[in-house]
Amino acid sequence: MGAVPPESAVGRLVLAATPLGHARDASARLIDAIATADVIAAEDTRRLRTLAAALGVGITGKVVSHYDAVEAARLPALLDDVRAGRTVLLVTDAGMPAVSDPGFRIVAAAAAEGLPVTCLPGPSAVTTALVLSGLPCERFCFDGFAPRRAGERRRWLETLVGESRAVVFFESPHRLAETLAAAVEVLGADRGAAVCRELTKKHEEVLRGPLAELAAWAEEGPVRGEITVVLAAAAPSTAPSVASLVGAVHERVADGERLKSAVSAVAEAAGVPKRDLYAAALVTKE
């Protein structure tokens, strides 16, 4: 735990949530922070200036870019600013910094030094999608972006077969149809879900229903905009059959994994006996 420097010697790091699409969702505290921060680190400096103009607020501090490719390089100078007594405001294009966006590294580094860090809460695509999904969401987990590669995506979906919480994830509109089709295969056609598109924006759209219906809609395409998907929790009484999991085992083996390891991973995720799945995999292999 880092020692906290004297209060007079340091400034602070402020993470602030920005509107998902509608500028009027900005909090009064965010408006004040944009106007008064000594330094603003923005994922896209042009979008920051567009937001400031929409809010009618002038930027008086220094503006620096802070996106994935430069996040590590910007870290030393931003920490120096905080140490020197300046207020550094960190914003991303939309929603909360560090949630599938830049921000984690500087928070961890500032916290390790005991530098003051605070947050201005606000819009989040995760919680917005959850409440609009119409699905039970007393307990949920967030999985960031779905894996891009087919094999990795299938293995990720396999871990959700018996998931007892609602699951929220982001997906590119160009890969949505493929991901939903894979979800139908792994999670079942009747698993409840919601696809939330362009949240809070002019063309906001929320589609709710079983995965099979949503996959068919996405296949018709084209799908545009920013996508957040919510999956319903698995029904407690539904357990996949051993036979339905054999294909997943063989896919993992085809990717280079040992049969026993593949069986163990799939069986554990699905909650079925490893011995039964191993026997079924051997039979179909022969």
Q: pLDDT tens for residues 147-195?
A: 999 999 999 999 999 899 999 999 999 999 999 999 999 999 999 999 9
What are the phi and psi torsion angles at 168 (to 5°)? Answer: -115, 135
What is the three-class DSSP state of 64?
Answer: strand
Whether residue 270 sits in one domain with residue 191: no
73 occurs within a structural domain: yes
Q: Is the pTM of this model over 0.85?
A: no
| Residue 78, domain extent | 7-123
Give the pLDDT confidence score for residue 239 in this predicted structure.
Answer: 62
133 occurs within a structural domain: yes
Number of domains in the chain: 3
Whether residue 204 sits in one domain with residue 151: yes
Whether residue 252 sits in one domain with residue 223: no
pLDDT beyond 80 at 257: yes
Domain boundary pick from 99, 123, 147 = 123
**Averaged pLDDT, 10-34:** 96
pLDDT beyond 80 at 260: yes
pLDDT beyond 90 at 143: yes
257 occurs within a structural domain: yes
Let me know: does 250 contact 285? Beta carbons within 8 Å. Answer: yes
Give the pLDDT confidence score for residue 241 in this predicted structure.
Answer: 82
Let me know: does 195 contact 161? Beta carbons within 8 Å. Answer: no
pLDDT beyond 80 at 238: no
Domain boundary pick from 104, 123, 142 = 123
Range 51-74 burial, b when 16+ CB lie within 10 A, else e: bbeebebebebebbbbbeeebeeb
Worst-scoring range by mean pLDDT, 54-58, 123-127, 166-170, 252-256? 252-256
Whether residue 250 sits in one domain with residue 168: no
What is the three-class DSSP state of 15?
Answer: strand
Cα angle: 133, vertex 138, 143; to 5 degrees: 65
pLDDT beyond 70 at 286: no
Cα 176 versus chain centre, distance: 15
1 occurs within a structural domain: no
Whether residue 215 sits in one domain with residue 263: no
85 occurs within a structural domain: yes
237 occurs within a structural domain: no
Domain boundary pick from 74, 100, 123 = 123
Check which CATH number belongs to the domain holding 138 and give it.
3.30.950.10
Give the pLDDT confidence score for residue 237 in this predicted structure.
Answer: 54
Give the pLDDT confidence score for residue 9 in this predicted structure.
Answer: 61
Whether residue 223 sits in one domain with residue 155: yes
Task: Please give the full DSSP string across 17-31, using - where no structure is assigned.
Answer: -B-SS-GGG--HHHH
236 occurs within a structural domain: no
Whether residue 144 sits in one domain with residue 117: no
Whether residue 194 sits in one domain with residue 87: no
